[in-house]
């Protein structure tokens, strides 16, 4: 069986997160800062993140449908992004609807646009950072702050084996389990 080669993705440090936010705010439309903040706090793949519809959110929880339905509890930072976007664009279907000058205002921002912006930021800061860094940063943060709870991170990430997850996180020696999934989304908020 052949495997797709994936470029190594780094999780971001707190200082790198702050620098990325600073450059996003300074040089790019606010939607990209919102995408970054939400991505750091829900741990979804970029395609899942950009396809979130307002009607997928109910009672502080997000329903993501891919091959099977996944529920994500939205922490305060993620809820602030959703609330802000809803109040600014009450008629939008998607949380991250594109309002760029050539956009129709009905489609979600596409992954290619986010990738382009993030590549610019990575080059400016001279760091290894791309659209997948948000997910890896989130999952690494949960893993570390949960007392190395692999079962928790596996349930949040969808990885099927501990070996696969540890390789993804770049971890060679796992620690000890704790916490539950819903609490983890709130507990490990990145502000």
The predicted pLDDT at position 181 comes to: 60
Model confidence over 28-71: pLDDT tens digits? Answer: 999 999 999 999 999 999 999 999 999 999 999 998 876 667 78
From the number of C-beta atoms within 10 Å of its C-beta (0-12, 13-18, 19+), residue 135 rates as buried
For 83-97, letters b (16+ CB in 10 Å) and e give eebeeebeebebbbb
120 DSSP assignment = H
Enter the pTM of the model.
Answer: 0.83
Q: Of 12-16, 160-164, 179-183, where does mean pLDDT reach its minimum? A: 179-183
Full set of structural domains in the chain with CATH: 14-187 (1.10.443.10)
Q: Is the pLDDT of residue 179 over 50?
A: no
């Amino acid at each position: 069986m052949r495997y797709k080669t994936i470029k190594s993705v780094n999780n971001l440090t707190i200082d790198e997160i702050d620098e990325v936010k600073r450059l996003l705010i300074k040089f790019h439309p606010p939607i990209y800062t919102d995408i970054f903040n939400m991505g750091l706090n829900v741990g979804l793949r970029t395609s899942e993140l950009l396809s979130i519809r307002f009607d997928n959110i109910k009672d502080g929880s997000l329903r993501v449908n891919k091959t099977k339905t996944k529920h994500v509890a939205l922490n305060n930072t993620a809820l602030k992004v959703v609330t802000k976007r809803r109040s600014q664009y009450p008629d939008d279907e998607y949380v991250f609807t594109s309002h760029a000058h050539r956009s129709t205002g009905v489609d979600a921002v596409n992954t290619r646009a986010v990738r382009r912006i993030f590549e610019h930021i990575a080059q400016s800061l001279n760091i290894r950072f791309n659209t997948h860094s948000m997910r890896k940063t989130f999952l690494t943060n949960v893993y570390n702050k949960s007392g190395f709870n692999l079962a928790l991170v596996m349930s949040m990430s969808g990885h099927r084996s501990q070996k696969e997850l540890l390789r993804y996180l770049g971890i060679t020696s796992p620690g000890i389990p704790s916490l539950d999934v819903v609490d983890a989304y709130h507990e490990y908020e990145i502000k």
